[in-house]
Amino acid sequence: MSAGQESSLRYLFAEAKSKSDALGSFTSASDSAYQENVLAAIESLEQCRKLARQISLFSPNEEFEDIASTDLPYLMIDYRLGDLILKENNQSRKGTLERAQEAFARFLRLLDTYRILSKTDSELFERYLENQNGFAVIRSNDPSTRRDSKIKRYKEEKSLKVKLDHLAQISTASEQDDSSIRDLYHAEAEISTYKAFESLDTIAQELKILALMPQSPPPGLGKSELDYRERNGLHKDGYSDRLDPSLSEMYRKGKAGPILNKDGKPLQPFTLLDSRQRLQNGVFGPDHSLPTMTIDEYLAEERRRGGIIDGGAENSVTAAQLDEDDVDKAEAETMKAREWDEFVEANPKGSGNTINRG
């Protein structure tokens, strides 16, 4: 690697790291300045990766000990790139996730090539390659097992952070100690490996959710037509999820086609109405019969028909007047009164109730 290339690579990587570290000063990820820093850092890292590939900075025939100490920071190019891509506010979320997934996979593949991955991480990476879209760090569905695994990984991450901070202090105190510098970058690669697997797990879950979401409308479908279909629940085949028919279907009573043929002969039953407004009022009216007159109007109508007699009980009952000239009728009334008096004398009040007497 020439001095110019080394200078360019060092400058691009330092610029990307500076912009990436500056993201912590922003309060919102949707801020335009935040996104500008993200895009600028991504562009610098893309150029770093391109330049490192051109000069064959890393070779599959080497091991970690064969890498120069000054080149060790560039092992993190793809990890930093994947982490920044996830922060990018892009309309195509699926494309963003897939780009980040590829960057993390390249990072892990590079570490696996140099045998930097532990045995456990190497097996985990093989499992990822076998099923990228269904990858999960913890495969068990048992709650207790998942809880124990999460606690174990949390302790491992915490231990790696403590180790990294300790090595960073040693490296700062003895900048000329090459062994301390190499240990520091090796520890950084270990904790980045842990975070890369966690990110791949999250990406796989989010891609599953996106796969279940409805697809975007085809490019040829206009917005007005799309709004109409969404508003009415229509699909391409004309099927509708709506339970209530449209107004035009109500006019036709659900029957499509013309009412009359060319000769004027009815093709289906129909009802003539005085206006479309009357039909519309009937459609959106109540489904029960409403009163057609008030109570006062009803009483007045009943009085007119003779159903109500005014004047009370005295006028409603007229005593029968006997005709003095009708002797037979008067005699019959007299006999009826005598028979009733005799019945009352023979049957005093209460004489018939003999069951409940004490």
What string of pLDDT tens digits covers the 358 residues of the chain?
555 666 788 888 888 888 888 888 888 888 888 899 999 999 999 999 999 998 888 888 888 888 888 899 899 999 999 999 999 988 888 999 999 999 999 999 999 999 999 899 999 999 999 988 889 888 767 677 767 767 777 777 777 777 667 666 665 555 557 788 888 888 889 989 999 999 999 999 999 998 888 766 555 555 555 555 555 555 555 555 555 555 555 555 545 566 667 776 777 666 665 666 665 666 666 666 667 778 888 888 888 887 777 665 555 555 455 566 677 787 888 888 888 888 888 877 766 666 655 5
pLDDT of residue 319: 46
User: What is the predicted pLDDT for the residue at 304?
Assistant: 83
Same domain, yes or no: 197 and 72 = yes
| Residue 44 tokens, joined | 């610098």
Return the pLDDT at 84.
94
Classify residue 131: in a domain, yes or no: yes
The SS3 assignment for 46 reads helix
d(CA 96, CA 108): 19
pLDDT digits (tens, 9 = 90+) for 257-299: 666 677 767 776 666 656 666 656 666 666 666 677 788 888 8
Residue 350: HSE in the Cβ half-sphere, 13 Å Cα cutoff: 2
100: containing domain: 58-212
Please state, as a whole number, how many other Cβ atoms lie within 10 Å of the Cβ of residue 117.
Answer: 20
Residue listed under structure tokens 């269904």: 134
In a domain, 271, yes or no: yes
**Does 120 share its domain with 260?**
no
Q: Are residues 68 and 176 in the same domain?
A: yes
CA atoms of 149 and 138, how far apart (whole Å): 7
Spatial distance between the Cα atoms of 124 and 137, rounded to a whole number of angstroms: 8
- Cα–Cα distance measured from residue 214 to residue 43, given in angstroms and rounded to the nearest whole number: 32
Question: Do 144 and 197 share a structural domain?
Answer: yes
pLDDT of residue 155: 73
pLDDT score for 281? 66
From 266, 281, 296, give the residue that closes a domain: 281
Alpha carbon of 245 to those of 225, 227, 232, 250: distances in Å? 19, 18, 10, 7
- Return the H-helix or E-strand segment holding 25: none
